[in-house]
Structure formats: structure tokens, C-alpha cells
Amino acid sequence: MQSHLACFNPACRARFDINDVLYNCTVCGGLLEAKYDFSGADPVALKKTWRERRMDNSPLCQSGVWRYREMFPFLDDLRHVVTLREGNTPQLNAPRAAGYGGLARLTFKHQGFNPTGSFKDNGMTCGAAQAKRLGMKRVACVSTGNTSASMAAYASAGGLDPLIFIPHGNISYGKLAQALEYGAKTFQVEANFDQILALVRVLAERLGIYLLNSINPFRIEGQKSIVIEMIDQRDWRVPDWIVLPGGNLGNVSAFGKGLREMYETGLIDRMPRLGVVQAEGSSPFYEYMAAKGLQPFHAQEHPETLATAIKIGDPVSWPKAQFEIENSKGTVERVTEQEIADAKAVIGQCGIGCEPASAATLAGIRKLTAAGVIDRDADVVAVLTGNVLKDPDYIYRYHTGELTAPNGTPIKSTFGNKPIVVPNDAERIGQLIG
């Protein structure tokens, strides 16, 4: 077997066919991952091929995911690919945010520049391709909003029927609007993310629907391209740290796997450290890691945060995330609602902007530099996971001093920028401008 699925649990490692419709190991219930034989890989030739593809206008080469397909060779027929030219996201220097984060320099890799405005597109193009390869007709996911927006777009673009399940009243309108516009059948369920995931797994099994949550190993394969593209854009110079927000913990699992495979194939000469940041009211992984193995993993029954993208109390991928954090000598931090809101406004002042969950990165970096975990001179890339326009309601409330944390505490509008209502009077407006 060349490419195959394998159980992630080191005590099991059962193997399955790449075409099996499975989300967990049938032997031990562990998480699954795609495995390949990279023994013949030539890093110099791969780097050259990937550069040449940037000059090629074919859809597969213009995709910032499929350009790197040698690193996830699970498809036998590339005609199954559904691409909206995902990836190709910029790395932006942000001196002001660096200063706020206690760093000499800081780069943001902005996944919000993706076709549906979040990093989910990197994984969804692979998940949708596998769905088509398997001959599936319907695909489903539970989502805090971005996965559903992305799945709706890729399914519709690829002629699949998207079914979306979201926690009623708990996702931003920007994301809900995308699901409706891209033609998904959308169910607003009166339950939280973790409860709905259990429900959708039952429905998928019962109705033969293909599940496209990040428990799907092919989503993870696509999300590896975020770190491959990142390091390619840096001419293969490895950063000291890569910092990202953590919710269901699929993305950190993908980054860790991608980096390990790059290291094993000789594409990079060392591993960067991974930093995951959670919202304080929704931080089961932080608590587990802080207990240093003295406590089992405890799900949080009622996670709370205004960063709704990462409002998840029972993240499915925590065993993978734990492995990748430990393997990369990384760390996990958590930040308050106020810290997220202020960091987000600073990212906005850089002319960059992002959604609340993404800003947890800068808030976390500020704490980690203050604690001496990240050095002031470290070379840090923070991954902004979603576009600024995903949650405009949050932005308006912050700047006008109307934002309140889930526990009722008002959020201070530290970097507030209120709109000014004026009469239609040039004299008066002139005075206000000064």
C-alpha cells in the first residue's frame, strides 16, 4: 500500500485502505491520518517544480494547495479536484503589531485572503476532491461558521449537495450568509458545536453522507499546505515560532504533520516551534497541557467566547495536537476576551484586520513574550485564520463601546474609533477635522 490511512494512536497503528470511508480507527477508536512513502522524494527537485508551477496558468498550478500535491499524493485521478484557486495567501509585515506583541518583528500569514475568507479552503479543496473520488453525492459538517462557508462553496462548485449544521444563534451573520448564498441546506440546531458534532456523525452514518469536519483526514492533508506555502514564500528559511488559534485543533495537527513531513523529506533543516492560543472561556486544551499529564483530558461543557470560531469545549483532535506541540517543543496559551478584542484592533490599525479568533494569536504572543517563552528577537509568523469582514457586528460594538463579554463584563474599547455623526455643514466638519 503506498498511500493509506493509519490510526494515529501509537499503541494501535492499524492500517486501512485510502478509499475506506472512515473517520476513526475501527480497532481502537483513535484518530486517523493519511500516510505516504516519501522515501524517494528529492527536495531540490520538488522546490524547483513548485516554483515553476507559479508561472503555469493551469488551475492546479494556480492553486496554492495543489501546487504542492507531491506532499499529499492521496488522489489517483486529479480530475476529481475542486479548486477555487485557494491558498496563495500573503505574508505581511506588521511593525505596529510586533511592538504590541513585544517583538522586534512579526509577520502575519493571512489565510483570510482565501476564496471564502478563511483557512478552511486549504483543507476543503482536498476533502471535496476525496468526496468526489469516492462517488459521494452529499457532504455535511457542523461548524462555528467558517467550515460551513467553505464546504458550501466547494460542494456547490463541485456538484455535491452541501448540508450544514450550525449552533443556533452562535455564529456570525457573515458566515451564515455565505452558507445560504453558496446554496447549502442549512440547519440551525439548538445545541452547541460539540453536541451537534455527535449528532452529525450519527446522521452521516445513517444516511450515507460524507462528513467534512476536520476529523476527516483529507481536510488535514490540505491544511498542511499552509505551512508548506509559508516556508516556500520565505525561500525555505524556517521561522522560530508559528503561532495560531486553537478550537477543534485540526489546524495545529495539520501544521505539525506538514512540518514533520517537510523535515523528513529534507525540505527544511529544522522544526519551528508551534504556539497554540485559546480563548480563556473555551480552553480545555490549555488546561490539559498546563496539568502536564497529571489530569486526563476534560471537555468543557459550556464553552464561552465572543470569538465564536473557537467556541469549542470538546476538541476532537486534541491527541494529535498534543503530539505536535510536544514534538515541536511548542506551547499553549490562553487569553481573555479583552485581550483578544484589543489585539484585534491593533491588527486592524496595521491595515490588515482579521476576525476575533485570529487575533488570539497576537494577544497570546504578547503574553508569551512577557513571560519570556518567546524571545523578543525571535522570528515569528502568526497565522490569521479569518477575514476581517467575517464578523462586522463585533467590530462595530468594540469601536462604539458596546461590546460585552459572555459573562456580562463590558469590554473596554481601548483602541476605539467611533464614527462621528455630523450635520451637512462644511464649516462644522472643518472644525472637527481640525
Interface residues toward ligand F0G, by CB under 6 A: 118, 120, 143-147, 214, 245-251, 309-310, 355, 357-358, 385-386
- Closest CB 315 distance from ligand F0G, rounded Å: 7
Q: Which residues contact 263 (CB under 8 A, 6 or more apart)?
A: 269, 270, 271
Minimum gap (Å) between residue 235 Cβ and ligand F0G: 27
In the complex, least distance from residue 330 CB atom to ligand F0G, rounded to whole angstroms: 14
In the complex with ligand F0G, which residue's Cβ is closer, 83 or 150?
150
Judged by beta carbon, residue 62 or residue 188, the one nearer ligand F0G is 188
Give the nearer residue to ligand F0G in terms of CB position, either 24 or 62: 24
3-state helix, strand, coil in the chain (%, to 5): 45, 15, 40
Place of cell 476576551: 337
Residues 6+ positions from 58 with CB-CB distance below 8 Å: none
Q: Shortest gap between Cβ of 312 and ligand F0G (angstroms)?
A: 6
C-alpha to C-alpha distances, 307 to 144, 196, 375, 385, nearest whole angstrom? 10, 19, 27, 12
Judged by CB, which is closer to ligand F0G: 83, or 147? 147
User: Which three cell numbers, joined as nine digits, stand for 331?
Assistant: 506551547
Q: CB of 112: closest distance to ligand F0G in angstroms?
A: 8
Nearer CB in complex with ligand F0G: 5/310 = 310
Residue among 132, 8, 155 at smallest CA distance from 76:
132
Burial bucket for residue 409 (CB in 10 Å: 0-12, 13-18, 19+): exposed
Closer by beta carbon to ligand F0G, 232 or else 391: 391
Q: CB-wise, 122 or 265, nearer to ligand F0G? A: 122
- Find the shortest distance in angstroms from Cβ 273 to ligand F0G: 17
Determine how β-strand 380-384 pairs with β-strand 241-245: parallel
Q: For ligand F0G, give the closer residue by CB, 46 or 86.
A: 86
Minimum distance of ligand F0G from residue 384's CB (angstroms): 8
Angle at 249 between CA 198 and CA 358, to 5 degrees: 115
CB of 319 to ligand F0G, least distance (A): 14
Q: Which segments of 350-403 does DSSP mark as H helices, in order?
A: 356-370, 392-399
Q: Which residues contact 27 (CB under 8 A, 6 or more apart)?
A: 7, 12, 14
Place of cell 515569528: 380
Measure the CA–CA gap between 116 and 320, rounded to whole angstroms. 26
